[in-house]
Amino acid sequence: MNEEPDNLGLVHLLRAVTVEFGLRQTEFAARNGMHPTDVRALICLLDAARADEPATAGLLGARLGLNSAGTTAVIDRLERLRHVARVRDDHDRRRILLRVEPAAIRLGREFFGPLIDGVLQVLDGFDPAERETVRRFLTATHAVFAPEPRP
């Protein structure tokens, strides 16, 4: 049997994890009458909220790699499903921000919560130095794939 180098094996493991995560996203989308891009949009909006970034249509389109029409279609679908609301920015009333609705957050937690809990349980088996190594690896790997720096 032909053994691959350790580093390439890690790349293949990372790919396997991302494939499985993508399959879970697709399953969640199908169960909830959504397109897989809608799930990625919700993740982008939740990430923006955690980073205290204004979640605009422009930000969402850039993060998803969609043009203006595609971004509007995603937002319209999510709004029809009552997963997202368009709200005026308190600081600039001309700007419209996107907010993930609490019901959508609950729906996501019901589905992804056990998976997240499982990952947290795995991380509990690592000491702080090991977790920092994992964080450095994932941060650097994300930078390789991300089209733009993100917080």
Which DSSP state fits 20? H
Helix 68-80 and helix 57-64: axis angle, to 10°?
A: 110
Q: What is the CA radius of gyration of the chain?
A: 18
Closest CA to 95 of 62, 42, 56, 63: 56
Given a contact cutoff of 8 angstroms between Cβ atoms, the answer to whether 100 and 45 are in contact is yes
Q: What pTM, to 2 d.p., does this model score?
A: 0.85
pLDDT single digits (tens) 48-96 = 999 999 999 999 999 999 999 999 999 999 999 999 999 998 888 889 9
Given a contact cutoff of 8 angstroms between Cβ atoms, the answer to whether 45 and 84 are in contact is yes
Residue 151 has pLDDT above 60, yes or no: no
Residue 30 has pLDDT above 80, yes or no: yes
Give the pLDDT of residue 92.
85
